[in-house]
Amino acid sequence: MKIMNNSKINVVDVKDPHELAARAMDIFADLAKQAVGEKNVFHVAISGGKTPRRFYELLGTTADSANLPWDKTELFWVDERCVDPQSQESNYRLANETFLKKIPISPKNVHRIMGETNNYNQAVEDYDRALRKIFNLSPGQFPQFDLMVLGMGPDGHIGSLLPNSYALFDTVDLVTVVYQLEGGLNRITLTHPVICAAKQLLVMVSGTEKASIVRDVLLGKPDEVKYPVHTLWPILDKVVWVIDSDAAKLL
């Protein structure tokens, strides 16, 4: 793999989605135990999409999951579509179906984005308030998650930071609304300063349909407006890429 020669980009090459999920599980477990050992709490933010489904299923079913410090875990979402939590499009629903129903985590430790709220600004304010309270933030501070779990869209987006979106330039807020002008679902997302403030970021990429964007993003010149994932380039030392063989086949 060509990219392995770039010491700034840490790529874990796995053969298939099952191995990808297992490696993600290992990273999640290690960082959870480390965080609790250091400060008695694990702050994690997760994403939606097809790629993490198997990983989330492992979180809900394996013996390793049963040993995780769920009672000391504060769970957030990187982003959410503006839909009801029972919608097939809901990132919360994906997590709830795959692992939340099956683990001993207190509801008060689960901080979802209220995507069903018609007043998007109110949903943003509520999520902002939860972040500031849980992380005990002073004005001007950003939360520091122990782990941020991300995917990468076929257009190079992360969270709901979409190509050519004004949200990419929001360096002040913790949370923002991303409006879709062409009929897509509106979204609410953490801003890129919050994403980049995380101690560790895991980017999971799977499937042949992602091969060209993986090549363009990892081998091309950084352009964060065209490919929002490039907002991670200043902090590549904190990013682990777990990419299966189908997605990596053009590297």
pLDDT per residue as tens digits for the range 19-71 = 999 999 999 999 999 999 999 999 999 999 999 999 999 999 988 898 999 99
Helices (H), the chain: 17-39, 53-61, 63-66, 91-98, 120-134, 192-197, 211-219
Given a cut of 60, is residue 226 above it in pLDDT? yes
**Percent of the chain residues past pLDDT 90, beyond the cut:** 91
What does the pLDDT read at residue 1? 53
With a CB cutoff of 8 Å and minimum separation 6, the contacts of 72 are 36, 40, 41, 42
Task: Kindly report the number of other CB atoms within 10 A of residue 50's CB atom.
Answer: 12
Burial class of residue 140 in the structure, from the number of CB atoms within 10 Å of its CB (0-12 exposed, 13-18 middle, 19+ buried): exposed
Give the mean model confidence (pLDDT) for residues 183-187. 88
What does the pLDDT read at residue 197? 98
C-alpha torsion sign, points 209, 22, 107, 200: negative
User: Cα 89 to the chain's mean position, in Å?
Assistant: 16
User: Cα 82 to the chain's mean position, in Å?
Assistant: 17
Which of 182 and 114 is assigned the larger pLDDT? Answer: 114
Give the mean model confidence (pLDDT) for residues 8-23. 95
Mean pLDDT of the chain: 95
| pLDDT class of 8 with cuts at 50, 70, 90 | confident
What does the pLDDT read at residue 220? 93
What does the pLDDT read at residue 64? 84
What does the pLDDT read at residue 198? 98
What does the pLDDT read at residue 5? 45
Given a cut of 80, is residue 188 above it in pLDDT? yes
Helix, strand, coil percentages (3-state) for the chain, rounded to 5, are 40, 20, 40
**Pairing state between β 10-14 and 110-111:** unpaired
Give the mean model confidence (pLDDT) for residues 213-235. 96
Cα 197 to Cα 64: distance, rounded to the nearest angstrom: 28
**Does 10-244 carry CATH code 3.90.1150.10?**
no
Q: Tell me if 103 sits within 8 A of 62, measured CB to CB.
A: no
Give the mean model confidence (pLDDT) for residues 202-210. 97
61-113 pLDDT tens trace: 988 898 999 999 999 999 999 999 999 999 999 999 999 999 999 999 999 99
Structure tokens at 109: 């430790």
Structure tokens at 117: 């709220």
Q: What is the DSSP letter of 209?
A: G
Which of 4 and 210 is assigned the larger pLDDT? Answer: 210
What does the pLDDT read at residue 3? 52
pTM metric for this prediction: 0.95
